[in-house]
Structure 1
């Protein structure tokens, strides 16, 4: 059984999963540039899987939310979406994304953005199926040809629709 736990990017479980996510992306792109790290203290959600023996839970997925810079009030960025291979195929990423969209909505975010790469077709398919649309690229990776930037207007998807 997989449960979601709201936390921050300072959480050791989040940091462990983030390191795995960075290594996975660097491997996919044959890169030695991890890009900018995620700041501490940001909203995060960690997915945990029961191990069958009481309260033992293993972290299997993560997601974080980072506000976008000055002059971009009401905009935030989804960061470090990752699910361990052992938990893939169980809709963990979809659940993490829905949980973070609700946290963002409750915090007044109207527009979410993210960066993903062409070498992550499963992620692009997930975001597209959840109502994300391509947008102009921004940020650290904006000039990289394999980067795809996407956005989702949260006011176009009311909370009731997001949790249905």
Structure 2
């Protein structure tokens, strides 16, 4: 894979929103509806209460992952890799970058919601040390929702 940089970006940038729209299309194809209806705002991803990261290759955004503060935790949102870049470890790199950012902000763990129709995401999270927790978020109580968490090391 070409040289890939992971950088912070504004959630409301047009190029970021195009990638988010692709993410929502992917979720819509899996689950129906419009994708993820969780209320989000660009301000959710502004440090120190969040961060939105993108992977850039040859000037093109190919992956995203953000986090927003949820109490003492960092809630993972909008984790996505474009189809052409899948299967090369990029999602794992994005997840690690989120964990690093959240650790630096003093979060104690990363929490997330995913769905049972995303087996590749479930496999990634479990192999990265995430364990099931009680459902907590916007989709709490919905069929097929799976919530996970991973403890973060104390900030240095």
**TM-score, length of structure 2 as denominator length:** 0.88
Q: Structure 1 residues 33 and 48 mapped into 2: Cα distance closer, same or farther (>3 Å)?
A: closer
Partners of 1:141 and 1:63 in 2: CA distance: 19
Aligned length: 148
Q: Structure 1 residues 159 and 94 mapped into 2: Cα distance closer, same or farther (>3 Å)?
A: farther
Gaps in structure 1 of 5+ consecutive residues: 51-56
Find the counterpart in structure 2 of residue 48 from structure 1: 56
1:159 shift after superposition: 7.8
Equivalent of 1:77 in 49, 60, 75: 75
Equivalent of 1:102 in 100, 103, 119: 100
Partners of 2:106 and 2:150 in 1: CA distance: 14
Q: Is the 8 A contact 2:25 2:35 kept in 1?
A: no
Q: Is the 8 A contact 1:14 1:44 kept in 2?
A: no
Gaps in structure 2 of 5+ consecutive residues: 46-50
Runs of 4+ in 1 over 3 A off after TM superposition: none
**TM-score, length of structure 1 as denominator length:** 0.84
1:92 shift after superposition: 1.0
